[in-house]
């Protein structure tokens, strides 16, 4: 259970500004390259986050509150962002992410959640029963996962340039969440 809901929401509230500070106005050499193969670019990760704001977290929270376990969440299309980001700029995605996140957090705060609400369960198509608390916690850790992924993608661009320091730069050697 989320024991500190306000702390979870505070973390979620900071992600747009963190991404904006790190990414806005960077050259595409930082944002349009991946780690090889079918891995994602920074632009892709941001597109995924925007799409998730629209199609995942808060919508599933609404379903838990309205239907409980009687209705399963729709499966999330992890690649659904691709058709929606075509022709858009990184700056546009940063702005949209900030706008959507602000609106989503306002909605969640408006739910005036109490412990019994956080314990309420919904049905995930793969995991089965999940609580609202678990959903909100996963949302925050999902942000952290993708912040880590973005750092890793960016560091990868300098994997050869750092020379022997590579041995001391853990981000170049982690096997975290990929695309």
Kindly report, residue by residue over 119-152, the tens digit of the pLDDT: 999 999 999 999 999 999 999 999 999 999 999 9
pLDDT (tens digit per residue) in 29-53: 999 999 999 999 999 999 999 999 9
10/134 Cα distance (integer angstroms): 16
Per-residue pLDDT at 110: 98
Please give the pLDDT value at position 174: 86
Beta bridge partners of 72: 123
Structure tokens given for 5:
């809901």
Distances (CA, A) of 146 to 40, 45, 152: 11, 7, 9
Residues 6+ apart with CB under 8 A from 147: 15, 18, 19
Instruction: Please give the share of the chain, as a percent, with pLDDT higher than 90.
Output: 93
Query: What domains can be seen in the chain, in order of their start residue?
Result: 5-172 (1.20.120.450)
- Asked whether the beta carbons of 120 and 131 are under 8 A apart, the reply is yes
Q: Where would I find the beta strands (DSSP E) of the chain?
A: 121-124, 128-131
């Amino acid at each position: 259970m989320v024991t500190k809901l306000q702390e979870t929401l505070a973390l979620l509230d900071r992600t747009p500004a963190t991404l904006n500070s790190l990414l806005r106005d960077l050259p595409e050499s930082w944002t349009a390259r991946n780690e090889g193969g079918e891995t994602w670019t920074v632009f892709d990760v941001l597109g995924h986050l925007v799409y998730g704001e629209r199609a995942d977290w808060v919508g599933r929270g609404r379903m838990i509150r309205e239907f409980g376990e009687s209705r399963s969440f729709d499966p999330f299309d992890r690649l659904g962002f691709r058709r929606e980001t075509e022709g858009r700029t990184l700056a546009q995605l940063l702005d949209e992410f900030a706008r959507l996140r602000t609106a989503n957090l306002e909605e969640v705060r408006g739910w005036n959640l109490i412990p019994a609400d956080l314990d309420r369960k919904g049905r995930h198509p793969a995991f089965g029963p999940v609580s609202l608390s678990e959903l909100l916690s996963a949302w925050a850790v999902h942000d952290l996962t993708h912040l880590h992924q973005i750092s890793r993608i960016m560091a990868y661009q300098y994997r050869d340039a750092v020379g022997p320091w590579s041995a001391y730069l853990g981000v170049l050697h982690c096997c975290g969440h990929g695309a």
